[in-house]
Structure 1
Amino acid sequence: MFGLSLSTFRERWQLFLGAILTVVIGVALVQSSLLILISAAVPEIPAGLSEAAANRLRDGYTGAIVLLAMTLGIAAFLAVFIVSSTFAFTISQRRRDLALLRLVGGSRGQLRRLLLSEALLLGVLGTGIGVPAGLVVMRVQSWLLTDLGFLPDVFAPRWQDWILGVSAGVGIGVALLGVLSASRRASKVRPLEALRDTGAAARVMTFSRWFFGILFLAGTAALLIVAPLAGPDGAIPMSINAAITASIGLTALSPLIVPLVGRVLGLVLRPSTLGGLAQANLRDGVRRSASTAAPLLVLVALVLGMSGSLATISLADKEDLARTVTADLVVPSAGATAPGVAVASTEVTVPVVATISKHDKEKDDGTDALVIDADAYRQLHSRAPLSGSLADLHGMTVATTDYAVGDTITLRVGDQEQERRVVAVVAQAVNGGTDYLLPRDSVPPAALADGEAETFVKAAPGVDPATLRAALPGALPVHDWIERRASAHDSMNSGIMTVLMGLAGLYALMAVVNAVVIAAAARKAEFAAARVTGLTRRQVVGAALIESWAVAVIGLLLGGVAAAGTLTGIGAAMGKLTGVTVYAVPWSALGLVVLGAFAVVGLTSVATSLAATRPAPVSPVGARE
């Protein structure tokens, strides 16, 4: 069987090219991301660095670690998804060849071993190319993360020998997982049914499609129900995972949806000859249309889901600050003394290390705390604690987003380790923020001197804030401060989207091109028959283009449905947290995805249909199967 697999690989390499490239990129990305992630998670701390400076250095890698973890998850998911969909489509295109193999004496087990051997060859080849490619990707990825501000300029990833085993496991594992379900399904089809394209061979909606489609859509509904009950740290991953589960569920059920959408599009396409032909092909080639629409569906779900979630969080943060911060001005320094100042609240962000006990084990967590004067803070921030009172925040006490009133926690502030009693539980910040509020009188002066200070100012009655601003160097109106703060977060979010959208777009591009190429390779006789009946070559290519664009519309619509679920979940979560439900639709990302999808699908369709119609129409029509 291995020799037969090798022969198939040599003769039909075009069918496997997209899957090989997917495995190569998957191996390269996983290898690169893991090496950078480990180097960032355990950075080299220069000798002689203070504890506070060391904590700041470690915190500087947090954004990169989160982004790399997301990259790893999405790369693994897309690699398995695209390889499996490619193999499923390839096997369906080869069902007659596989049926002949069964008719000449091949057993179901031998058929499965043949397909698994092909996957093994694909995985070995993809791993062999992906490992050296990963070294190049690591350099590019490190440069990109440094350029976007996620990593310091001095960062250098460290090579680990064990990564070779991980890369081999990823490449071969992705290939075998991708073909496992399709090989099992192909081995169950009776050979005569496959030859005649009847019975189980002609059935697109299999039991596994029904099962996984309903299962993942039910999982999506569960995630969207639970997401509003979690804080921002839980709502964001739940909502993004909802986009993934929704895209898998809709992809599994797409053979049901494609004909329905095709009928609707038929109202527009049917009046013209080419449109009518495209609509008939769309209705007849359900498996082909579903395979082409699947990567577009996932691309739209991920890109719009993630970008919409980040934009919604940013908008909710601005709305929340505008409602709860009652100051008129913000001064980027400690203290604000000038005639006309009614209340001034100086807030200093300092690094702290919290000792957290979980499962009878203790670990140190480096984070930030906000040092405040409780009376002034309460006058300029209207949000009340969830429990307890900030009036009790003095001495060795703390207000926190976690724990309960009366608990005792250990914090290391500067060089001092302190036992503090929780006197208030405050709501978690929407977009960043600190986990602890500390009273000023309990923080060492050296720690305050090393912190970053801002002073919120309220003008006295009858005093114009604009006049007061002129007397306070660097002061900003509070709405400008909110916009600047949001802009800083948006800059980081745009960096995240640059990396992840590029990753998702690259995978989708390969998958779409591969699906269109595989489909066109099997349609030479169909195109020739259309030309023999009177259509010109240009008309056949035009009908194929219209059909491919209709499939793109289907993928975009289904992906939009999955992304809408993500926005619903994150919007509801932000509404529960802030009291105001907002949604931000990423129109620019949507426009870019739509234009890119139509361009890629259209160009690939035209190129492949031109190649398929190059021979004289009599040759493919008269050729034996």
Structure 2
Amino acid sequence: MLTTTLHALRTRWTTFAGSFVALSLGVALMTVMGLTLASSLNAPGQPPERFAAAPVVVQGQDTLRVGDRTQTLAQPRPVPARTIAALRTLGKVTEDRAFAVRAERAPGGLVGHPWSTAAFAPYELSAGRAPRAADEVVATGDWAAVGQKLRTDRGTVRVVGTVRVAGAVRVVGQARARGFGFGFGFGFEDALFYPDARAAALSPPVTRLVVDAKASEVRRLVAPGVRVLTGDERRLADADPDRDAEALTALNALFGTAGGVTAFVSVFVVASTFAFAVAQRRREFGLLRMVGATPGRLRRMVLAEALTVGALASAAGCALGAYGAPHLADLVVEGGLAPAWFAIGDHSWPYQLAFWTGLLAALCGSVAASWRAGRTGPTQALREAAVDSGASGMRPWGRLLCGTALLITAAVTLVLALLTEPGDLLHRKTYISRPMLLITAVALLSPVLVGPLTRLIVRLPGAIGLLVRENAATGVGRTAAVAAPVLVTVALTGSLLGATATLNEARATEARERTTADFVVTSAGAPLDAATVRRLREVPGAEVSPVASSAVYVLEDGVALIKSEAHAVDPHRLAATARLPLTDGRVTDLDDDSIIVNEEWSQHRVGEHVPVWLGDGTRRSLRIAGVMPVGTGDNGVYVTAANAPGAVVERVDVRVREGADRAGVAGALREAVGLRETVGLPEAVGGRRHAAHADVVTSDDWLRTAFPTTGLADTDRTTRLGILLVLGIALLYTGISLANTQIMAASDRARELTALRLAGATRTQVLRLVAAEALTVVAIGALLGLLVTTLNLLGMWSALTLQSVWSPIRLPWAELGTATGACALLAVASAVLPTAVALRPRSRRIRH
């Protein structure tokens, strides 16, 4: 058996080389994904930053606790005045304040602090001096220079000094380049330090304290809910204490999904390649059966070959994956998906999983074909070798049965999801993983579809058209095997990008339908302060509706403490600038004792009272004044400002009153937010941004900017890069597999093509025939992929319709065309080049 196996490997090295390449690359991809996933499971402890040198930090209540369930408050409470007074009896108390600042030509996320707290970072002056006068500040980083005057939403100030984190210049530069940390500019924040008295006047609430006393004495004096932080817990007083853990959680979800897609694509392609490699040898099996080989011996030989090639290729794939994983880690760090310290750890289970999965895929791909080869009689095997009436691998009825079962499963699960939880179909994990089932089902059914699709596609006149049609019809196994990578490529491209585009279009449709404002005022990186909002309200001829962001918490079914995004509005002003899609109730019924919820809440009947916790943890019982549909999941809830303490205004909708001058109102709005006259639109939509980073744009321009409907531009960074990563890996692998399968098929057709040359066909005609066949197979795979894409997007469209969002399906035609074109180029090149080599003059003979 070993001698026969080695002889087969030596004489049919081209076929086995193709299988080796496909399997080793698949195992390498699984290894890379597994190693990256394993390295993202645990994050090291994040050290304190702003208060690294503070003895004890006292922080106001920032966590809502209901039983054993907790949630972070949207608006943390300040430290009570009585607690501050009591702590002063223990020792020196340094009050800290953090407030948003909008400044001209400043980085987004700029924050203000009292100068006395800079000593706890610790910061060191890199230039200038400490601030003393009310209009003096010290800036972090290098975005501002000493002596520079800054126009801010809190008055014009002069920079008298700059600071940097001591001993961290190089690391800070890396963090800035990679976009991690609060403010993403100078290590962990971009800040302006004011004199303590000025900071207290700008932001009276004390968010935290530094106390020079023993922690045990401090804990004895603080009020309930106030936190006392020492040691590593001081990091909880930083602006974003869990950013590294959250980044790794997102990375873990990303690579979990990418790993699942990679495993599916790898197993799918490897099994198909091995089955095709076995199916190519039907004539050889027929001859072996004629000379007395038993079915069991044939099966053992095929499995021994698959085991040998599979083990060697899987080992090579693990080695290749170990080399590639660190490079992928560097890419995700450079792309801002992971913290700067992220690296591949020492894990063994990804190698084990990838190796055995690859070996199992190789064996599974060979088992079905070997079973069929063993059960086929000698003369029947020779007859099937001449005309491929079946498909590579299992019998036609077996493929038909399995494909139909998977198709029914996909349909049933889709219907159940639509009837029970249609919103689940809009989640990223669902619309990334759901296409796999349909891809497998359609691939199994592809031999049944090859004939009709070939007759539909091929309309070439003459002998070449006839040969293309007949070769595709008789070579069903070869056609299906080559079309499989194209099917995966087109189906994944269309399903993932189409789902994202369709969901983006749905969100844009929701926003357009509910927006009746003429202008929208937004602020980049900082909220709009109360003075700016007051000036906007004083603009003559303008109906102004500020929208502040907060949160509301509800205990559903006594089990889960759910956080919902809350929009704090004035109901009468909102009614003039927006049109909420209420299924029950009225916007104007909203008051300080009520709330507008969506149908996702367990209680959503108008008139019912629902117990909630506000953004600062205050418990209230609010009457439901209106109910919205779930929509795309971004509806949130609406409350009045009284039920959103501490909420900051992030957007102001403006409608021009009837009879007022639109251009005059627009100019007055720009004056109110501190913008000089502009030419064209602000920077966010193509023009120049001025003064305090506030934009006044038309509602149409705002909708186009906030809800673009093309490409992946409007998805969040993790989703966008995640989808591109999944697609990139899958498409690269399927592209290589397509070329590999074409080369395997071309090498097996040398005798057939040489016979065509002997029958009188010119070399150019044979090459044209091969190219036309390759294009036909790509077209078949593309049509099947488009079918899978359409079915997937129809499921998402149905879910959106049930969620009361009437939005069209968006097919990514440009991307589909690019993917199909790339497959066509690869297929033609991979088919024509080996054929040209095989048709050289010294090869013009039929090998018996």
Which interval holds the TM-score relative to the shorter structure? Answer: 0.7 to 0.9
Aligned to 2:371: 184
Which runs of 5 or more structure 2 residues have no equivalent in the other structure? Answer: 48-233, 674-693
| Number of aligned positions between the proteins | 609
Alpha-carbon distance change, 69 to 396 in structure 1, aligned in 2, over 3 angstroms: farther
Aligned with 2:435: secondary structure?
A: helix
Could you tell me which of 320, 323, 326 is aligned with 1:139? 326
Q: 1:357 & 1:14 partners in 2: Cα distance? A: 63
What is the Cα deviation at residue 506 of structure 1?
1.5
How far is the alpha carbon of 1:304 from its aligned partner?
Answer: 1.1
Q: 1:87 to 1:151 in 2, by over 3 A?
A: same
Identify which of 690, 707, 712 aligns with 1:486.
Answer: 707
Q: Residue in 1 aligned with 2:465?
A: 275
**What TM-score does the superposition give when structure 1 sets the normalisation length?**
0.85
Of 390, 401, 404 in structure 1, the residue corresponding to residue 603 of structure 2 is 404
CA contact (8 A) 1:220 1:243 kept: no
- Give the corresponding residue for 1:506: 732
Q: In 1, Cα distance between the equivalents of 2:618 and 2:829? A: 64
Is contact 1:343-1:376 (8 Å) kept?
A: no
1:345 corresponds to which residue? 546
Residue from 356, 375, 383 that aligns with 2:571: 375
Residue of structure 1 equivalent to 2:398: 208
**2:374 counterpart letter in structure 1:** S
320-329 or 219-228, which moves further after superposition? 219-228
Which residue of the partner structure matches residue 92 of structure 2? none
Q: Answer yes or no: is the 8 Å Cα contact 2:550–2:565 preserved in 1.
A: yes
The one of 295, 302, 315 aligned to 1:128: 315
Question: The residue matched to 1:616 in structure 2 has which SS?
Answer: helix
After superposition, the Cα gap between the structure-2 partners of 1:486 and 1:535, relative to the gap in structure 1 and judged at 3 Å, is same
In the alignment, structure 1 residue 50 sits paired with structure 2 residue 241: no
Which position in structure 2 is the counterpart of 1:471? 671
Greater share of residues in helix: 1
- The 1:231–1:201 alpha-carbon spacing in structure 2 relative to 1, beyond 3 Å, is closer
Q: Does 1:219 align with 2:409?
A: yes
Post-superposition offset of 1:41? 5.1
1:226 Cα deviation (Å)? 4.9
Match of 2:568, as an amino acid? I
Contact 1:223 1:242 (8 Å CA) reproduced: no
Looking at structure 1, the residues matched to 390 and 351 of structure 2 have their Cα atoms a distance apart, in angstroms, of 42
Pick which of 62-71 and 516-525 moved more: 62-71
CA distance in 1, matches of 2:295, 2:843: 37
Equivalences for residues 381-396 of structure 1 within 5 A:
381-384=578-581, 394=592
| C-alpha distance in structure 1 between counterparts of 2:39 and 2:843, whole Å | 59
Find the counterpart in structure 2 of residue 330 from structure 1.
521
Please report how far the alpha carbon of residue 321 of structure 1 lies from its aligned counterpart in structure 2 after TM superposition: 0.1
User: Is the Cα contact below 8 Å between 1:523 and 1:612 reproduced in 2?
Assistant: no
Amino acid at match of 2:714: H
Aligned partners of 2:778 and 2:283: how far apart in 1? 28
Query: Which amino acid in 1 is paired with 2:452?
Result: L
SS in 2 for 1:342: strand
Alignment of 1:544-583 (within 5 A): 544-583=770-809
Aligned to 1:78: 265
2:490–2:786 Cα contact (<8 Å) kept? yes
Partner in structure 2 of residue 32 of structure 1: 32
1:600 to partner: Cα distance: 0.7
Counterpart of 2:819 (choices 576, 589, 593) is 593
Q: Quote the Cα distance in structure 1 between the aligned partners of 2:762 and 2:504.
A: 54
C-alpha displacement at 1:425, in angstroms? 5.9
Instruction: For residue 547 of structure 2, give the secondary structure of its aligned residue in structure 1.
Output: strand
**3-state SS, counterpart of residue 53 of structure 1:** coil
Q: 1:428/1:10 Cα in 2 relative to 1: closer, same or farther (>3 Å)?
A: farther
Helix, strand or coil for the counterpart of 2:707?
helix
Amino acid at match of 2:786: G
How far apart are 1:197 and its partner, in Å?
2.5
1:354–1:412: 8 Å Cα contact kept in structure 2? Answer: no
- In the alignment, which residue of structure 2 is the partner of 1:173? 360
Q: Secondary structure at the match of 1:50?
A: helix
Q: Tell me the TM-score normalised to structure 2 length.
A: 0.64
Say whether the 8 Å CA contact 2:544–2:652 is kept in structure 1: no
Q: Which residue of 2 aligns with 1:18?
A: 18
Q: Does 1:234 align with 2:425?
A: yes
| Amino acid aligned to 1:88 | A
- Shift, 1:277, TM fit: 3.0
Matches of 1:138 and 1:429, distance apart in 2: 40
Q: Does 1:455 align with 2:652?
A: yes
Q: Is the 8 A contact 2:22 2:269 kept in 1?
A: yes
* Amino acid in the other structure paired with 1:404: Q
Q: What are the Cα deviations for residues 178-207 of structure 1, in whole angstroms up to 9, with x where unaligned?
A: 333333333322233113328998444622
Which range moves more in the overlay, 100-109 or 550-559?
A: 100-109
SS of aligned partner of 1:580: coil
Q: Say if 1:384 and 1:40 are closer, same or farther in 2 by CA, change over 3 A.
A: farther
Deviations 1:291-343 (Å, cap 9, x if unpaired)?
11121122111111211111111111111101013333132233522223433
Aligned pairs for 1:149-164 within 5 A: 149-164=336-351
SS, match of residue 455 in structure 1: strand
Distance 1:325 1:103, change over 3 A: same
Instruction: Tell me if the contact between 2:568 and 2:644 (Cα under 8 Å) persists in the aligned partners.
Output: no
Q: Equivalent residue for 2:191?
A: none
* TM-aligned CA deviation for residue 77 of structure 1: 1.1
Residue 353 of structure 1, CA deviation = 8.6
Residue 435 to residue 168, structure 1, CA distance change in 2 (3 Å): farther
* Aligned 8 A contact 2:594 2:622 in 1: yes
Distance 1:45 1:167 in 2: 30
Q: Distance in 2 between matches of 1:355 and 1:165?
A: 43
- C-alpha change, 1:122 and 1:139, in structure 2 (3 Å) is same
Given that 1:410 and 1:420 are in contact with CA atoms closer than 8 Å, whether structure 2 keeps it comes out as yes
Distance 1:152 1:425, change over 3 A: farther
Choose from 480, 490, 493 the match for 1:300: 490
What is the CA–CA distance in structure 1 between the aligned matches of 2:748 and 2:355, rounded to whole Å? 33
Letter of the 1:489 counterpart: D
User: Which residue is 2:741 aligned to?
Assistant: 515
Distance 1:523 1:168, change over 3 A: closer
CA distance in 1, matches of 2:733, 2:397: 28
The 3 A distance-change label for structure 1 pair 356 and 34 is farther
Matched, 1:90 2:277: yes
Query: Could you tell me how far apart the structure 1 residues matched to 2:610 and 2:20 are?
Result: 55
The amino acid across from 1:12 in the alignment is R
- Superposed CA deviations along residues 79-137 of structure 1, whole A, max 9, x for unmatched, are 11111211221111112323344455544344333333333333322332222322333
Residue 239 of structure 1: how far off its partner (Å): 5.1
- SS for the counterpart of 1:54 is coil
> Based on CA coordinates, which of the two structures has the bigger radius of gyration?
2
Q: Quick one: percent identity of the two aligned structures?
A: 25
Q: 1:154 to 1:344 in 2, by over 3 A?
A: farther
- Which fold has the larger relative contact order, with Cα–Cα distance below 8 Å and residues 6 or more apart in sequence? 1
C-alpha displacement of 1:597: 1.8
Q: Name the amino acid aligned to 2:398.
A: S
Supply the AA of the counterpart residue of 1:108.
Answer: P
Distance 1:44 1:396 in 2: 44
